[in-house]
Structure 1
Amino acid sequence: MNKKILLAFIFFVPFQLFSQEQWNLKACIAYGLKNNRNSTVYENEKRAADAKAKEALADYLPKVSLTGTLDNNLKVQESVIPGGVFGPDPIRVAFSQKYNSNAQAQLDQTIYDQSLLTGLKASKYNKQQAEVNIRKSEETIIYNIGNAYYQIYVYREQLRLLKENLGTYRGQVNIFKLQVEKGVTLQKDLDKVTVDYNNAISQIRIAESNLTLSQNQLKYEMGYPISSALPVDSVSQQDVAIHIDATNSNDLASPFVVGNRVDYRLSEINARLLDIDEKRIKAGAMPKLTGYARYGAVGFGNSIGPAFKDLSPFSAVGLKLSIPIFDFFRRNAQYNQAKYKSLNATENLKLDEGKYELEYENAKTKINNARQNLESDSRNIQLAESVFKTTDLQYRKGVTDLTEWLTAQNSIKESQNNYLNSLFSFYQAKLDLEKASGNLKTFYTSL
């Protein structure tokens, strides 16, 4: 008795552990958001945007530079003092020696540069752009994982239905084999059913291959090791019914908000960046004021040693005003380019608003149609199965022939194919609607 309990425990515990490891859609998406390589790429882009903002700010911060030189004057330059200054004749004199050392430190501080001030405004939008790109990457991951996950469910449903059909054909083949052996049925009737039986086997192989491909696709979208097993928790028939019932016209009646679309928000940020660039180029025509402070020392000597010993210090502070005058044509051409790019970005923003609203309205229409088709095709399977049961009973009683039996069975297969197509179309339309409304993250959190 104890051995039986132990064996039951050994077989039961692994099954429980396996069942706990089933991955539902939310778990798959959560894993993908953490492990998909695109997440790392866009996180790095965000860090790059932060660094770019610091770079832009650095242009308005003090700059300190150190310079040092040592000249070996192979031939010392001489100057001439005209005659009559220190005597009647001109005097040649060198104001330097063979070696000349110079070291200085200089601090430069931009006091006013409207071009830089305008450019600093772009830093905020560069950060926003990086953050929105992360959001876009997350939505892409959610959409792709959802699509692959639902494909797995559809192929599993297809396999389930195909195996049911295979069982029906197998049973009929076995019956016909006995009848052929007894001589009450023709071989051609057995061959007809055997053809459909073999076709069902081929279709199962194709569905199994498609299931494997969709599982690999899901692993790829999640950033999950391809070679590792991923026990996906299929959506049950009850869940499908709940999803269909939940997707009604009331849920789709919420107003469309174009600002929820990450693509639109990226276009908005791009338009603002182009507007800032236009103003920055225009500000380049304004004067620039810079302050500086300098301190250093200079030394001379006929050998290297004295050039570094007897140093004469010097220092200076001052202001530098730069007024661009003769670069008007170049700057004006740049300004016009930036202006028209900014105008086009504004127009494209208006076009995008209409385009995204159109996508949303089309997505609503598609999911309504998909829901109705799925409900209709689901009922058609039940009707086809009911017709087949009646036809099968009539065939067994000899009231109808094999052609009617095969026709009824083929009607089941046709209704099943329509159902599977409608099922995937429904899930595809659901994801498309969430994407069109900009609510993919809300969809994920609500799972």
Structure 2
Amino acid sequence: MKIYITGLIAVLMIHTAKAQQPLTLNMEKAKELALKNRFDVQANRYDTEIAEKEIKGRKQAYIPDLKITGNVSYHPQIQAILVPPGFGGITEPTLLALGAKSISIYSLELNQPILSSSLRNDIKIAENSAQWQAERNRGKEIEIKQKVSEAYLNVLLRDLQQKIALNEEKRYSEYFNLAQGRYDNGALIENDYLRAKLDYQNAKQQSSVTTQNYEISLNTLRHEINVENNVKLELSDKLEDSFLKELPDVTAAQQNNRTEIRQLEFEKIDQNLKLKKQRQSVLPSLSLVANYSQQFQNMEFNYDYTDTQWWSGFSAIGLKLSIPLTEHFTNAVSVDQLLLKTRQTEFNFQQKKADISYEINQAVISLSNAQTNAVRTKDSYDLAQKVYENQQQQLPYGALSYDTILNTESSMTSAEQNYIKASYEFLLAKLNYEMAAGTL
């Protein structure tokens, strides 16, 4: 019993240790994990499989249509036919009822398409639809990667805000301790002491808020990559590392690979194929038809199929040609509608290309400006830190008044806020650039 309990405790400890191991992520790994874990991504992949099944279904239309039919009927009164004079020695025209009352016919029928433009076009439309659906899924995955990227970058930003707030809290803690010592020694008036205490409390509150925001941003990232809330995340990317990276050039291939362009291209192909199908719907179709039947007949209400003398067989084989006539007149309206849709899609396609070109140009300019601003504000932030360090060396000697300390703190706060703002604008510009370039 003791061995069992000890073993159980060991298993629980191992499981707990694994659960507490942090999940280290960079941006790319976070996006890959989201595409792997999210249920909507897995659900969307069935759309592609369904579209591929549609191709197989269209191709199966060329398989011969083989079926068995049965027809059982009873005729209490047989239809009479007119027999002209001279037939069988009859001198006067008369009505004569010929045929059986009990009739059963069982047939094996074959219909094999030989020439059908509609079937060929249906297969091409289905193949294009499958590729179109795969591109739609890629577009949905890009939207998911965008959300993951936003959540990931938001964590980096909240982490930066938290670090700056903690540093600020630390500074105000040092100011408060210094002010309290001077106040206790009678070297500082009460109002300055209270101001130092209030500033320290405000800094603590701000630090607490930034920590809360940081935890919320982590929960959002966990949700986007679909991992449990108790999973500890560690982000390996550093915000400052992104500032100095060279900006990649956008190639024409990347621009044309935007999912919006690709989807419009598939839409154009789909409309052209449907237009071709509509125009060819007036063409003749040709099929091979064959039939083999066994017929049972009896003059009474008798369906005793074991009586073989009343069974007889017949068969036929031939070609079935179908030539549309009315559709030559009614088809024109449908063709005109498809032509209008094709022209409409072409204009949308050209406008989308122009929009994307504009988006890329704007994104390049915005990212370049944001990168420059981020680097400059980072330099100012580092300079503010140096000013603070110099001030710290003078504080123990009482050479600085509290107003002077606050002036320095105001400059540091301004540098910090500018740094945070520039960092946020850089992250947003970087994400917009990746979206515009189609590299997300």
For the criterion TM > 0.5, the same-fold answer is yes
Equivalent positions of 1:28-427 (< 5 A) are 28-73=30-75, 75-82=76-83, 84=85, 85=87, 87=90, 90=94, 92-97=96-101, 99-225=102-228, 227-236=229-238, 240-241=240-241, 243-248=242-247, 251-252=248-249, 257-301=254-298, 302-303=300-301, 305-306=303-304, 309=307, 310-390=310-390, 400-427=400-427
Alignment partner of 1:95: what SS?
A: coil
User: Taking structure 2 as the reference length, what is the TM-score of the superposition?
Assistant: 0.85
Letter matched to residue 115 of structure 2: Y
Letter matched to residue 418 of structure 2: N
Q: Is contact 1:363–1:436 with CA below 8 Å preserved after alignment?
A: yes
**Gapped runs of 5+ residues in structure 1?**
1-13, 441-447
Output one character per residue of 1:232-281: Cα deviation in whole Å (capped at 9) or x when no partner. 224246xx33x332224xx3375564322122111111111111111111
Following superposition, the deviation at residue 202 of structure 1 comes to 2.7
Q: Is contact 1:33–1:39 with CA below 8 Å preserved after alignment?
A: yes
Distance 2:294 2:319 in 1: 21
- Residues 328/314 of structure 1: CA separation in 2 closer, same or farther (3 Å cut): same
Q: Is contact 2:118–2:281 with CA below 8 Å preserved after alignment?
A: yes
Task: Tell whether 2:28 aligns with 1:26.
Answer: yes
Alignment partner of 1:22: what SS?
A: strand
Q: Is contact 2:25–2:235 with CA below 8 Å preserved after alignment?
A: yes
| Alignment root-mean-square deviation, CA | 2.8
Following superposition, the deviation at residue 96 of structure 1 comes to 2.5
Q: Is contact 1:100–1:307 with CA below 8 Å preserved after alignment?
A: no
Following superposition, the deviation at residue 400 of structure 1 comes to 4.9
| Correspondence for 1:4 | none
Q: Is contact 1:261–1:438 with CA below 8 Å preserved after alignment?
A: yes
Q: Is contact 1:395–1:402 with CA below 8 Å preserved after alignment?
A: no
Distance 1:230 1:437 in 2: 32
User: After the TM superposition, which of the residue ranges 82-91 and 53-62 deviates more from structure 2?
Assistant: 82-91
Distance 2:107 2:405 in 1: 102
Following superposition, the deviation at residue 338 of structure 1 comes to 0.9
- Residues 236/94 of structure 1: CA separation in 2 closer, same or farther (3 Å cut): same
- Residues 177/399 of structure 1: CA separation in 2 closer, same or farther (3 Å cut): closer
User: After the TM superposition, which of the residue ranges 306-315 and 410-419 deviates more from structure 2?
Assistant: 306-315
Following superposition, the deviation at residue 83 of structure 1 comes to 7.5
Letter matched to residue 346 of structure 2: T
Distance 1:123 1:220 in 2: 36
**Aligned residues with identical type, % of pairs:** 20
Distance 1:152 1:236 in 2: 11
Following superposition, the deviation at residue 385 of structure 1 comes to 2.7
Following superposition, the deviation at residue 438 of structure 1 comes to 2.0
Q: Is contact 1:290–1:320 with CA below 8 Å preserved after alignment?
A: yes
Distance 1:431 1:48 in 2: 33
Alignment partner of 1:175: what SS?
A: helix
User: After the TM superposition, which of the residue ranges 355-364 and 55-64 deviates more from structure 2?
Assistant: 55-64
| Correspondence for 1:11 | none
Letter matched to residue 439 of structure 1: T
Distance 2:145 2:270 in 1: 29
User: After the TM superposition, which of the residue ranges 78-87 and 60-69 deviates more from structure 2?
Assistant: 78-87
Distance 1:192 1:279 in 2: 81
Letter matched to residue 77 of structure 1: I
Distance 2:233 2:122 in 1: 52
User: After the TM superposition, which of the residue ranges 129-138 and 57-66 deviates more from structure 2?
Assistant: 129-138
**How many residues align structurally?**
419
Distance 2:302 2:33 in 1: 68
Letter matched to residue 246 of structure 2: T
Letter matched to residue 34 of structure 2: G
Distance 1:418 1:230 in 2: 30
Distance 2:155 2:208 in 1: 15
Output one character per residue of 1:90-126: Cα deviation in whole Å (capped at 9) or x when no partner. 45525231x3222212111222222332332223322
Q: Is contact 1:67–1:103 with CA below 8 Å preserved after alignment?
A: yes
Alignment partner of 2:107: what SS?
A: strand
Distance 1:72 1:154 in 2: 86
- Residues 105/261 of structure 1: CA separation in 2 closer, same or farther (3 Å cut): same
Letter matched to residue 431 of structure 2: L
Following superposition, the deviation at residue 285 of structure 1 comes to 1.6
Following superposition, the deviation at residue 224 of structure 1 comes to 1.9
Distance 1:236 1:345 in 2: 44
Letter matched to residue 369 of structure 1: N
User: Taking structure 1 as the reference length, what is the TM-score of the superposition?
Assistant: 0.84
Following superposition, the deviation at residue 308 of structure 1 comes to 6.9
